[in-house]
Amino acid sequence: MSLSPSSRVGDRAARAIADEFARHGAPQTGLLVGAEPGSPVLAAALDALAPGDELTIVSDPESATAMSEHLDAQGTWVAGRTKVVTALADARPADVVMVAAPVSTLDGETAKYLESLRAVVKESGMLVLAVPARGPVAFELTDLIAEHGVAEDLVLRNRPPLRVHRLRFGLAKPADAEKLAPAYRPSSVPVTGRMHIDSNGVAAGAIALGAAVLLKRVRPKSKLWLVPALAAAPVAAFFRDPERSVPDENEAVVAASDGKVLSVEHITDDRFGALTGEAGTEWLRVAVFLSVLDVHVNRSPVAGRVVDVFRESGGYAPAMKAAAEHNVACYTVVDTPRGRAVVAQRTGLLARRIINRAKVGALVAKGERYGLIRFGSRTDIYLPADRAEALVAPGERVVGGETVVARWTD
């Protein structure tokens, strides 16, 4: 296995590679492999440096002097927190190991290279690497991703497109998630400083415009092309993804989506018996209905470690009706320092696809984007009834990631 410096890593992919190093709120150690002076990944890693952080750069002997000079030129803030080594074996294990260049998987050295990288990852630390989005991937890397992958970002706006994988070796502590900033999502495309569009919206808008162009060419005298052309902007706007101000209080549980509170109730749900080790556990459930006009990007209501993600089949009843209880749904189970929480993404009459980007083993920050539901739907938050109290009532409007809908009581 080898690095492929000829494959370009743009700013978005670089930010995704360095994000795990950037979003930690506590001092940590980072290790950067395969970077060159002035590379976007090196710049992203240096931007992520905070007081107490240490970053080691592995540079080949021919480039080590130039790398040291480049770091010194950044000033004492950077120079005092970085160092350069000329071999991976000279580096100490780090909390986050970042591979700057896309990884080639075609030269037969995959297993050896992966083992050398794993040797410099601390227990429960993370290895972040990118591979080409298209093309073959070695079995060794595929198996490693399947066993240890806790996050994956597809960066289509890189040339060539890349997949950035985050691999965690060992279990992270749920309490560590309370110190994290929400993960950077390349799937959220910025439009203005505070407004983004999910990549699904960009694709949907492009399809609508493509249909308009096709109709115009096929039937140039017809006005039918105006239908998809005028629909492109509203369709893309459905996938809008605004920035949100997430409350700092660890005890606060925030709304998983925008919408109107349908119900606040205590229920017994045997599907979640395995979560507590016993059947008949009582849960506090806050259900929120999303109309087609609401923001449909879903956010984690709590900070913690994802321990399970599962789907259930069902119908497509209107999401505001009681029958929606049995609709198709995706459940994300999050272990927190105060107990386990579950958030359900439910389909509705028009919603036919649930997108869930959470992976088992990942740490999610409170208010972090983790998925969306298309066209009218419902989100339910489940909390242990004896450890949480609701702060909203049916009929109230809530804002995903901002509105405090419940509070942990112990």
Residues known to be catalytic: 377
Q: How far apart are CA 187 and CA 246, in angstroms?
A: 20
DSSP state of 185: -
Ramachandran angles phi, psi of 341, nearest 5°? -120, 150
Question: CA torsion 142→17→97→50, rounded to 10°?
Answer: -160
Please, how many CA atoms are within 13 Å of residue 64, restricted to the half-sphere of its CB?
12
Q: Which of 117, 189, 175 is nearest to 369 (CA)?
A: 189
Closest CA to 386 of 246, 302, 268, 299: 268
Could you give the CA distance from residue 260 to residue 406 in angstroms, rounded to a whole number? Answer: 15
Residue showing tokens 């000079």? 69
Q: How far apart are CA 4 and CA 17, in angstroms?
A: 15
Q: Which residues pair with 293 in a beta bridge?
A: none
Instruction: Please say whether the beta carbons of 95 and 173 come within 8 A.
Output: no
Run of H or E residues at 219: none
